[in-house]
Amino acid sequence: GAGVSQSPSNKVTEKGKDVELRCDPISGHTALYWYRQSLGQGLEFLIYFQGNSAPDKSGLPSDRFSAERTGGSVSTLTIQRTQQEDSAVYLCASSPHGTATNEKLFFGSGTQLSVL
């Protein structure tokens, strides 16, 4: 596709359930990022992929959060045993290489996660 695609756009789940959020980056982009944006807050870095490997997982808030990327393309962010504080917009972004400070990120429209 022409841009970064995320699905679903909205997800409502019950506390304790597992959820999977999907990101389809721009074709050919090797770098992929996940961010979390809570209401009225800035973006919180979660994880960065370079190809299929994740050299930086430092932002994952707990071991309930995990992410994988297969084939150097699609990525899935999984949240296990969701809690109400996990409610937020989860944004995915990609960039061509991810190794230069001048490389801008292209963002998807996000997944709005609501945990009841």
- Contact between 67 and another protein by CB under 8 A: the answer reads no
Does residue 8 have a cis bond before it (omega within 30 degrees)?
A: yes
- Contact between 26 and another protein by CB under 8 A: the answer reads no
- Round to whole Å and give the CA distance between 2 and 27: 8
Q: Which is nearest to 66 in space by CA: 85, 84, 46?
A: 46
2 secondary structure, DSSP code: -
- Tell me the pairing of strands 88-95 and 106-107: antiparallel
- Contact between 25 and another protein by CB under 8 A: the answer reads no
3-state secondary structure of 23: strand
Q: Which residue in 25, 26, 29, 33 binds another protein (CB under 8 A)?
A: 33
Q: Which residue in 24, 26, 108, 115 binds another protein (CB under 8 A)?
A: 108
Site string for another protein, 41-60 (x = CB under 8 A): xxxxx--x-x----xx--x-
Q: Which residue in 19, 75, 94, 110 binds another protein (CB under 8 A)?
A: 110
State the residues that interact with another protein by CB under 8 A: 31, 33, 35, 41-45, 48, 50, 55-56, 59, 89, 91, 93, 98-110
